[in-house]
Structure formats: structure tokens, C-alpha cells
Chains A and B, each alone.
Chain A
Amino acid sequence: MESLQKKKKSGTSVKNLVWWLGILYRDSPGYVLAYLADIPLQIGIALLGSYMPSVLVADITAGKAIYVILRNLILLGGALAGFYVIQQWAAETRKMKENRICGAHSLKLFRAALNAEYRDIEQPEFQTEFMKLQELHLWSGTYTRMFMTLVSTAAAGILGLLVYTGMLSGLSPWILLLILASAAASSGVGVLCNRWESKNRHKWWALDLKMEYLAQNLSSYESAKDVHLYAMAPWLRKLYDRELKERLRYTVKVEKNYYIWGLAYSLAGMLCKGVSYLYLIYNVCMGRMDAAEFVLYVGILMSFTGGCYQVVESVKRLHELALYVEEDRRLMNKLRTEEKESRKELILEKDYIPTIEFRNVTFQYEGAEAPVIRNLNLTISPGENLALVGLNGAGKTTFIKLLCGFYDPTQGEILADGVNREEYDRESWFRCFSGVFQETGFFPMSLRENLDPEGREEKRRLEECLETADLTDKIRKLPKGLDTLFGAGILEEAADFSGGEKQKLMLARSLYKQAPFLVLDEPTAALDPLAESELYEKYCRFSDKKTTVFISHRLASTRFCDRILLMEDGAVTETGTHQELMNRQGSYAAMYRLQSKYYQQEEAGLEGEMEL
């Protein structure tokens, strides 16, 4: 049973390697061919390298004419030089192509992630896998190069062994068997050492990560304030030394292992070489071989020995590499968006807004114990301005994600004018929405590209939106205006924006996209009271003729909305206008009073300690 599983495993690993080879060949056949060309070259170089001295020795001992000696030498040496030159040329040619090939592959991965379902990329496993693969493809293609090198060395090794065996057929087969056996034995030791290492590797990887975290993250200027004020330096040093001590224990163990492996290697090498020499010397002394043949056989036997190790080693490493390839393949498959030809486009006429209905909607995150949204029923009329309030963790942000179409309900349906959302193409659903989300959503490219990603170039309107978001002054002060790069600390020429300014930028973008639905998740958290109040005053204007949803911990914002929804534990527990909810004396009223207490006290002239 176990061996069957193992077989299956190595079967898939071959399949994975072939898959990757296929992809590389399809992307760039020249690249793959340049590697495959190496196979005959490697063998040719090994053979010529053995023949050249042997022929020279033969010619001299036979007392051949100088002309003949030189001719043979030039023929063989010239061929050898030619092989070397071609090999180098091919190697440099592949290196030239490497960047493009790896770039193209990364682009595929990048596209796949951009077009994947949002809920898929939100999974933490996706992020770790993605990061790992990104390194495989991006970092100058180390893995691609390693893979192709291994494929060609393995192939050259196997082919070479066949050729050498043919040439050594005159010798005792025991010699070849001895070499094969000792190669197998020493790589057996290697496998044992490796197995220990790959089983324990995660232990010191974790330590490495910790040391790097201490040395890099904690020494950044972003951490410096806390490190200073909490006098962490001596403690951090202690932590680093603790991790390093632990790490060195492993390092020494690993080195010991390698030493044993290396000794086994040298021992096997010595055995092969010694026996080969003794055997060949014996043959020469017995007159079965002359000195020139001796030189030739020494050369070929050494190539044979090298070939054995080459094959064992490269096959083993290919096997390891296949695991990465498998992950790559799996991720690509996972990210492939489902076929959606059957879905129809949601196309809205200008200024038309559909009614949205949540019908018995329940939503639970994958792997979570309890649903975040429970049996939610809600109708949002066209043009309605909603305020969504509730405690941290009540499900407000999840509600937004459901509404915008990032998630589908686990149970129940979301309807637009009575039609289930799932009948529509998701992309066309996204077209109807615009918004400001909690995290900064700008990319390291120019402001213009960030604000107008679809390249509509409606200059006048863009200016209006910037004006509404109170950014005109800030943009005017930038030397490059809208062509300024975003991403301070990452890109060299990028401008720095404060938290409040970033929020304003995102507001401007959400206004520039004229969508019938506008979703604002805490758009004022970083704004000062005057800026906040200005935004509220403008809110009526830009929420006109739109359905809007406004989330905020500052309950003042609810005043501008037609209806307030109070969420508690994944359900809407209160709904109505501010006045209605205040009259109800429920949770909303309590929360409102809590926040407004001091502002109102002023009016009432009350003083005293705050009490809950």
C-alpha cells in the first residue's frame, strides 16, 4: 500500500516536471532547446577531454612525425575548443532570455491573482503559497534555471553513462559495478542526512525568521518610537542572542551531517579511483594495455564516476523541485476563474438604480464556527442613503463585502429588482459599485493612474472630484501634479501623504467612478473635526441620485442618512431614522447617548464623572 502510494507520488512528480517543461517550451522553445543542446556538448567535451592527452601520449610513444602529432592535436583540440565555445554561447543565450521568460510567468501568476475571486485571495494559505511562488519566478528565475540545469545534467548523465559503458566494455564489468555501488552507497548516506535535514528544517527556518524580524522589522524607524519609549534594546539583544544560540546548535548539527556525507563521498571516490588505477596499472603491466590506453581509460573511468554522482544527485533534486512545481500548478488551477458564459450582464440605463433585496441571507467564513451574518432580511430602495452602525465585530464590513459582491451568501439570496445576483456576471455587478474601504487601496503608480484606472480621461470631472475631496491645494503643491507617484518609502520619487490625505484620495476616486451605489467604510476616521464636518456638508450633494451606505463609529454621520441600520451579532436589530431609533430607546439610543454625552452636557451645563 505504502509503496503504491510512493509510486503514485513519483509518477505525479514526473508529470509535474513534464508539465513545466511543456510550459517553458511553449513560452520559449529556443530557451529549452538551448538547454537540451547542452546534453551532447557535455558528453562530447568529456570524451574529447579524455582522448586528447591519450592520443598525444600514443603518438609520442609511437614516435610519429611531428606533423602528424600536431595535426591530430589540432583536430582534437580544435573540436574541443569548438564544443566549449558553443556551450558557452548557448549558456549566455539562455541567460539573456531568462528574465523575459520568468517575467512572463510571473505576469501569468499576477493576472491570475487579479482576476481570481476576492474570497480566494483572502485566504491566508493563498498568501503564503503565492509569496513562495513569486520568489520562484521573480527572483531572476533561480528556480527555472535550476530546473533546466538539472534536467539537462540528468539527461547528459544518463546518456553519458550509456556511452561510457559502451566504451569501457573491454574492461572488467566488476569495475563498473563497484563504481555504481559506491556511488549508490554514498548517496544513500546523503539521502539519510538530507532526510534528517528536511524533517527538521522548519525548526531553524522559524529561528531565522525570528532573527530577521528582530534585526530588520524592529530596527526600522517605524518601530523605533516604541522600542525607545519602552526601553526594549537590552531585551531585544537578549532575544536575539537566545535565538542565535539555538540556531547555532542546529547549524553545528547540520554541518556535522554534511561532514559525514562529505566523508562518505570522499571515501567512495577514493575507493573508485584507487581500484580503477590499480586495475589499469595491472593491465598495463600484464601487457594487455599500453600507456595511451591507460590515459584514455583513466579519463573515461573518471567521467563515468562523475556521471553516476551527477545522475543520482540531479534526480534527487528534481524530485524536490517537483513539489514546488506541483504547488504552482495547483495554485494556477485554483485561481482560474470559473467559466461564466452562462451569466448575463447587468446593464443599467443612465440614472437608473435597482432595488436591492437581501432575503434570508446568512454568511459564514470558511472554517469559522459561527456565521457572521445571520438570516438578514433587508430591502434597499433606489436612491436611499443608509447609515450602518454597530460595535466592532458586529458584521458591518462583511455586510459590505456581501453587498458589493466579494462574497456570496452561504444561505439565502441577494436580489436586484427581484433577480438573483448569481445570474449576473460578477464583473458587471462590480461596475455598479464604488466606494472607500478601510485599508489604503492605492497602488505604486501615478496618482492619475490610481484615480482613473480605466483611462477615461475626463479631466474636468476629475478636478471636480478632487475639489470635493478637498485635495486641490495638495495636488497643486506637488511639482508633478497628478503624475506624482504614490507609494512613499517604496518608490524613490513618490510623494508622502498623511492618513487624512489618503482617505481624501480614496474618496476622490470613488466619486470619479460614477456608479449608482456608493459604499463608504469609515471615511472620516483620520479627519479632524472641521474636515469631518465639511465632508458631512458635502455628503448630501454627492450622495444625490445614488444609493449610499455609510459606516462610521462617529454617530453624527447618521444624521445625513435616510435610514439607520444597527447591526448586532450579524443581524439588523434596529432600523429607522435617527429620531425613530432615539424614541425606541434601544441599543442605538444608548450608544448615541454615550457618544454625545459630553457634547450635550455642554448644552445642559452638566458636570461630573462619566458613568456607564
Chain B
Amino acid sequence: MRKKWKVFVRAVCYTARDMPAIWPLTVLTAALEAVMPYIQIFLSAAILSELTGASRDMQHLFFLAVLMTGLEFLGSALLQFCNQALDLQQYILMQHLDRAVAEKAWRMDYKLLCDPKIHGQKKTINNWQYEHGMVAMITQFRNLFRALVTIGISAALTIEFFAARAEGGGMARFLNHWSFPGVFLLLFALVTVYNIWSASGIQKGTYRVTKETEGSSNQRTELMKSCCAQYQQGKDVRIFHEQRILAQKFESLNDTIADLWEKAGASFRRLSVSSVLLSRLFHLFVYAAVGLKAVFRAFDVGNLLKYTGMVTQLGDGVTLLFHTIRDMVQNIRYLEDYFSYQETPNRTADAVLPVTQEIRDNYEFEFRHVTFTYPGAAAPSLSDVSCRFRKGEKIAVVGRNGSGKTTFIKLLCRLYDPQEGQILLNGTDIREYRYEEYLQLFSTVFQDYRIFAFTLGENVAAESEYDREKAVRALENAGFASRLRTLKDGLDTQLFKNFSEDGVELSGGESQKAAIARCLYKDAPHAVMDEPTAALDPVAEADIYQRMNRFIQGKGAVYISHRLSSCHFCSRILVFEGGRLEEQGTHEELLEKHGLYDRLWHAQAQYYRSA
């Protein structure tokens, strides 16, 4: 319980620090909102009293009418201002929170982000951020204040109403007896409790059905997407005559979802209709009660409208209070979720050793008995791998699908840490170096590299302000030159159509070249490339290998490729099989060994021998 309070305090402090004006605004808006309806309630009652009274002072009446509309205008002008200001504040807060969630992810350890739990947590935060959490908390507090003020004013009026004494006997005596307010309040309580109960029943039901239909809903959305966002699959649809089965799937998902909602809808209808019926009956009862008191001259007819209005306000206030409290209690879970995501500790945070220029100029990596198992996997992806390589060496990593090649470079780039063994840089465990500085050692092209919807130049430089000449040179060296000439905006060409119709789409081969250009632009001491030419034709491939070869003269490099011809210009080859480093040596050495490399090589080379 105490912990829960702490979360609240923390969230309030966080928002107050981020948006200092937000809390005063919330209180002001809530108070205005609560007071506004009473202008009409009080003044129209005063007007009606004056009208039904013995002497009608027209001047006074006009004054009251002008006062009422004038106050209402001022009030609504002010309220609207506060409302919009608060909306704006909440909007900015929302954006800041979105940014904070993203920024955490941008900097989070790769390993953690890939953890389905954390990546799921982030995804759900993104999903609810608009309805729950801190932005919603502001609205909830606003409702809370508003409910309290409303209840305060209307409770005072209610007391006034009960205190007004009816004149005469019989019925009037009952109206003055304590049992009258007793019955009144009892009915009020019953109706309010029923309303709150039925509303939360509907809310719970909606939540339940939403959860129940989530899977089907997702699948339906994906089916829909797969015939437009992934329109290429349209080819498969037509060739394999999938129209019928897909439509059937879609229809059955539709039915599942609709059935569940319809079934739940019937009970929602029962609840909400009965709640409306009760409220209206109570409303009628209030009219009768207030009317009777007026008949027995407890107050004049003008006050009729005042007291009926007040009871409505009181009911609204109490219901709002209950809903708000329930929402606030529910919201605690979301606040906790948010903070626990933000506090996910980075394992890379506390390393202090700098990667000096000296290291960059002259480095050596060593894998020492490295074993690594992916989280949740049964078997290790790398086991007991030991090897060394240093600046100036070009290493080829080969092996079958799933043999651990990609894992090897992921460990090298510190995307994961080994569970056993160590990776050393110049004799020191790489975990002791500052993470950012360590990553500056590498220029990479991963198998699943991403080119983003920025301009071409920004993609190459990973910055908005960059050396344009260098970027052009990198693109040329990546074989992008002829395509670059066809782009009229050159480096400033917006890629992809995400934001603008004029965005340029790149083919698979072209984006691969852009990724290589990015790697060349970074110009780090060590290049790491995972299947960098898979999408390229033989001519482009040969061309790029040749340029790359020139580029990495004197640097270090690690290559992965299924096309073993690329091993040729590597000084050493590491052959992986089932997570083990099976063989290593030069091309010639390995062929002489007649091991796995020999088999892989000949599997491919046999087709290229002159027939």
C-alpha cells in the first residue's frame, strides 16, 4: 500500500517537474468546471422567484438576466482558455513521455530490448499511453477536484433544501420529519450505487471482451494488411488460389469477434437500460419531492428549478467521484509499469575504461573459451570458441545456416555478452570499456540492416549535419553512383514514402548499397559485414568486393558470406559448425585439411569448374 502511494507521489513530482504549470491549471480548470452550472441554477431560480413574486421589479429582473448571461460568458471564456491550455500541456507531456520511452529504447542494451518481456512492455506502454499513465492521471485529478467541489456545493444546497420547513399539517409534517430526508437519501444512495455498479460492470465486460477478441482482431488486421501493405503476396494469393481460404478465415474471425461483442452487448444493454430507468425514476421522485415542498410553501416556485438542478449535480458529482477513484486505483498499475520500464538497468552503463586512439590504431581481439546461449534457448549457439584477430587481418566466417556465424559477430559488437569465457580487446575484457566508445571501433552491415525514412545523406552519415563530399564518395564506393545521378535532390532525396509522396523507394540491391555506403562513411577501424552482397548481381558484387578491398587496406574486417569466393581475399577463415569453431586457417590450409570447409567449397565450386 505504501509503495502504491509512493508511485503516485513520484508521478505527481515527475509531471510537476516536466510541466510546472500543469498542476495549478488542473486545479483551476476543475474548480471553474464545477462552479459553472451553478450560475444558471442560482440566477434562473432568482429570476423565476422574482417573476412569481408579488412585486415584479423589471429593472431588477433585467439586471439578473444580464448578470446571468454575462457571468456565463465570462466563465465559459475563462474555462475554455484553461481547458485548452491544459490540453496543450497534456499534449506536450504526452510527447515528452513518448520521447522518453523511445529514448530509453534507443539507448537500451540490445539484449534487453530483444527480451520479449521488455519489448512487450514497451509495446504495451505505447498502446496505453494515451488512456492510462501520467497523462490520464492529470485528467483523473481534474475529475477528482471537480467532483469534490460539486459535491460540496450541492451538499450545502441539499441541506438548505431539507432545512426549509413546509407549512401546514398532514403531508407537511412528513416533509418536515427526519424520515423524509432519510427516504430521500436512501433512494439517492441506492440509485447511485446501482449506477456505479452497472457502469463498472460494463467497463469490466468491455475490458474482458477486448482481451478475448484481441488475438482474432490482430489476426484480422494482419490479414487485411497482408493484402495491401504486403501487396507482393498478392502473387501468391492468385497463383495458389488462396482467395477462398483467406476470405473464409477473415469471415470466421469477423464472426468470432462479432459474436463475442453481441453476447456481451446483451448484458451491457440490460445494465445500462436499467440504470437509465432507475435514474429517470429517481429524477421524477425528486421533482415530486421538491414540488411538494413548494406546494407547502417551504420555498417559492423559483427555487423549484434550483433544487431539482442541485440534485442532478449531486448525483453526477458522486458518480464522478466513484469512477474517478476507481480509475485512479487502476491507473497505479500503469504508472508502476512505466517506471519499471524506465528503470530497466543497462548492463553497459558502468564501464569506465576509455577506448583510446592508441587502441584504435593498434588493436587485437581475442575470444577466450566463449560460450553463449540465447535467452530461452535450449542449446548454446556458440560453445567454447577461442580465436584471435587483429588490425590488418581480414577474417572470413563461414558455415551452414544456423551454425553461429551471426551470433559470433553480435558478441563481437557487444550486442550480447557471453555467459562463459571472455572477449578481450588488447588483453582487457571488452565489458570494461565504455560502451559507446567501444562501438565506435566498428563499421557494420548486418544481414537485416535497416535503411530509414530519412534523406539519403542522413542515412549514410547517421547525422543531419554531415560532410557532403565524404557522403558522395561513400555512395560512389558502394556502387551507388549511377543511381545517385538519377536522383534530382541528390543527397537530400527523401527515402521511402512514409512521409511524402515524393519519397523514393529503393530496390533490395540499392538499399544494400546504401547500407554499405553508411558503413564506408563511418570509416571505423574495424569492418563487420554479414552477407553484404546477397541481393546483388554478380557484376555489382565483384565490383563492390574490389572497392571494399581497397577501402579496408590496413584495417581489420570480419566477413560472413555464403558465396565462398569472397573468402579469397581474406587472410584467415573461421569455419563454424553447430556453434563450434570447427576449423581455422587460410583457404589453402583448409582445403588441404579436407574438412567442412573443403566440403562447403566444393559444393559451390564444382559448378564453376570449366566443364
Please indicate the chain B residues that have their CB under 8 angstroms from the CB of A61 in the complex.
52, 301
Please indicate the chain A residues that have their CB under 8 angstroms from the CB of B413 in the complex.
225, 228-229
Q: Give the dominant DSSP class at A's interface.
A: helix
A191-229 vs B, CB cutoff 8 Å, 1 = contact: the mask equals 000000000000000100111011111111111111111
Closest to A558 in B: B607
B164-197 vs A, CB cutoff 8 Å, 1 = contact: the mask equals 0000000100000000000000000000000000
Known: A244-B95, A266-B77, A595-B542. A231 touches B440 (CB 8 A): yes
Among B294, B295, B463, B609, the residue within 8 A (CB) of A599 is B609
Contact B509 A248 (CB under 8 A): no
Which residues of B33-89 have CB atoms within 8 Å of chain A's CB atoms? Answer: 44, 47-48, 51-52, 56, 58, 61-62, 65-66, 68-70, 72-73, 76-77, 80-81, 84, 87-88
Interface-forming stretch among B142-150, B230-238, B380-388? Answer: B230-238
Select the residue from A266, A427, A528 with max chain B CB neighbours within 10 A.
A528
Among A66, A236, A251, A443, the residue within 8 A (CB) of B295 is A66
Contact A278 B51 (CB under 8 A): no
Select the residue from B77, B446, B601, B607 with max chain A CB neighbours within 10 A.
B607
Contact A285 B58 (CB under 8 A): yes
B310-325 vs A, CB cutoff 8 Å, 1 = contact: the mask equals 0000000000000000
Among A106, A218, A531, A601, the residue within 8 A (CB) of B452 is A218
What is the minimal beta-carbon distance from A564 to any residue of chain B, in angstroms? 13
B215-235 vs A, CB cutoff 8 Å, 1 = contact: the mask equals 100111111101111111111
What is the minimal beta-carbon distance from A371 to any residue of chain B, in angstroms? 17
- Interface status of B155 (Cβ within 8 A of chain A): no
Contact A223 B450 (CB under 8 A): yes
Which residues of B71-130 have CB atoms within 8 Å of chain A's CB atoms? Answer: 72-73, 76-77, 80-81, 84, 87-88, 91-92, 95, 98-99, 101-103, 105-108, 110, 113-114, 119, 122, 126
Contact A404 B235 (CB under 8 A): yes
- Interface status of A52 (Cβ within 8 A of chain B): yes
CA distance A96 to B229 in the complex (A): 30
Among B114, B228, B276, B599, the residue within 8 A (CB) of A131 is B228
- Interface status of B272 (Cβ within 8 A of chain A): yes
Query: Interface size (B, Cβ < 8 Å)?
Result: 164
Closest to B565 in A: A598
What is the minimal beta-carbon distance from A17 to any residue of chain B, in angstroms? 25
- Interface status of B333 (Cβ within 8 A of chain A): no
Which residues of B494-552 have CB atoms within 8 Å of chain A's CB atoms? Answer: 497-500, 507-509, 518, 522, 534-543, 545-546, 549
Please indicate the chain B residues that have their CB under 8 angstroms from the CB of A210 in the complex.
499
B227-269 vs A, CB cutoff 8 Å, 1 = contact: the mask equals 1111111111111111111110111001101100110011011
Contact A553 B537 (CB under 8 A): yes
Among A99, A122, A449, A553, the residue within 8 A (CB) of B234 is A122
Interface-forming stretch among B3-11, B280-288, B351-359, B361-369? Answer: B280-288
Interface-forming stretch among B13-21, B22-30, B397-405, B424-432? Answer: B397-405
How many A-B contacts if CB must be within 8 Å? 463
Contact B539 A591 (CB under 8 A): yes
Contact B500 A53 (CB under 8 A): no
Interface size class for chain A?
35 or more
Please indicate the chain A residues that have their CB under 8 angstroms from the CB of B218 in the complex.
490-491
Select the residue from A57, A529, A602 with max chain B CB neighbours within 10 A.
A529
Closest to A295 in B: B48
Please indicate the chain A residues that have their CB under 8 angstroms from the CB of B556 in the complex.
none
Which residues of B587-611 have CB atoms within 8 Å of chain A's CB atoms? Answer: 591, 599-601, 603-611
Known: A52-B287, A80-B280. A244 touches B80 (CB 8 A): no
CA distance A391 to B541 in the complex (A): 10
- Interface status of A341 (Cβ within 8 A of chain B): no
Contact B301 A96 (CB under 8 A): no
- Interface status of A453 (Cβ within 8 A of chain B): yes
Please indicate the chain B residues that have their CB under 8 angstroms from the CB of A103 in the complex.
254-255, 257-258
CA distance A113 to B119 in the complex (A): 33
Among A213, A231, A239, A591, the residue within 8 A (CB) of B499 is A213
- Interface status of B339 (Cβ within 8 A of chain A): no
CA distance A103 to B262 in the complex (A): 13
Contact B522 A73 (CB under 8 A): no
Please indicate the chain A residues that have their CB under 8 angstroms from the CB of B126 in the complex.
215-216
Among B62, B106, B400, B522, the residue within 8 A (CB) of A219 is B106
Contact A244 B99 (CB under 8 A): yes
Closest to B215 in A: A492
Which residues of B556-611 have CB atoms within 8 Å of chain A's CB atoms? Answer: 562-565, 568-569, 591, 599-601, 603-611
What is the minimal beta-carbon distance from A96 to any residue of chain B, in angstroms? 3
Which residues of B268-300 have CB atoms within 8 Å of chain A's CB atoms? Answer: 268-269, 272-273, 276-277, 280-281, 283-284, 287-288, 291-292, 294-295
CA distance A236 to B450 in the complex (A): 15
- Interface status of A498 (Cβ within 8 A of chain B): yes
- Interface status of A124 (Cβ within 8 A of chain B): yes
Please indicate the chain A residues that have their CB under 8 angstroms from the CB of B222 in the complex.
444, 487, 490-491
Contact B450 A209 (CB under 8 A): no
Interface-forming stretch among A157-165, A176-184, A252-260, A410-418? Answer: A252-260
What is the minimal beta-carbon distance from A418 to any residue of chain B, in angstroms? 24
CA distance A295 to B44 in the complex (A): 10
- Interface status of A445 (Cβ within 8 A of chain B): yes
Closest to A240 in B: B99
Contact A597 B565 (CB under 8 A): yes
Contact A221 B113 (CB under 8 A): yes
A33-75 vs B, CB cutoff 8 Å, 1 = contact: the mask equals 0000000000000000000110011001100001001100110
What is the minimal beta-carbon distance from B164 to any residue of chain A, in angstroms? 15
Contact A240 B110 (CB under 8 A): no
Please indicate the chain B residues that have their CB under 8 angstroms from the CB of A487 in the complex.
222
What is the minimal beta-carbon distance from B27 to any residue of chain A, in angstroms? 20
Among B242, B291, B610, the residue within 8 A (CB) of A600 is B610
Among B52, B228, B292, B600, the residue within 8 A (CB) of A528 is B600
Known: A66-B295, A278-B65. A215 touches B99 (CB 8 A): yes
- Interface status of A533 (Cβ within 8 A of chain B): yes
- Interface status of B448 (Cβ within 8 A of chain A): yes
Among B48, B294, B446, B608, the residue within 8 A (CB) of A595 is B608
CA distance A258 to B77 in the complex (A): 12
Which residues of B429-444 have CB atoms within 8 Å of chain A's CB atoms? Answer: 436, 439-440, 442, 444
Closest to B275 in A: A88
Contact B119 A221 (CB under 8 A): yes
- Interface status of B305 (Cβ within 8 A of chain A): yes
Please indicate the chain B residues that have their CB under 8 angstroms from the CB of A555 in the complex.
538, 607-608
Known: A53-B305, A218-B102. A391 touches B600 (CB 8 A): no
Contact A277 B608 (CB under 8 A): no
CA distance A525 to B569 in the complex (A): 22
- Interface status of A107 (Cβ within 8 A of chain B): yes
Contact A60 B295 (CB under 8 A): yes
CA distance A600 to B254 in the complex (A): 59
Contact A527 B562 (CB under 8 A): yes
In the complex, 12 of the A-B residue pairs with CB atoms within 8 angstroms, ordered by the A residue number, are A106-B220, A111-B247, A124-B497, A219-B106, A228-B415, A291-B48, A445-B245, A492-B215, A528-B562, A595-B565, A602-B591, A610-B545
| Contacts beyond the supplied A99-B262, A284-B51, A599-B608: 10 A-B pairs with Cβ under 8 Å | A60-B291, A80-B284, A98-B261, A121-B227, A233-B103, A273-B69, A391-B540, A435-B239, A443-B246, A610-B568
- Enumerate the 7 nearest inter-chain pairs by beta-carbon distance, A residue then B residue, closest first: A556-B607, A441-B236, A96-B265, A596-B608, A81-B280, A219-B105, A103-B254
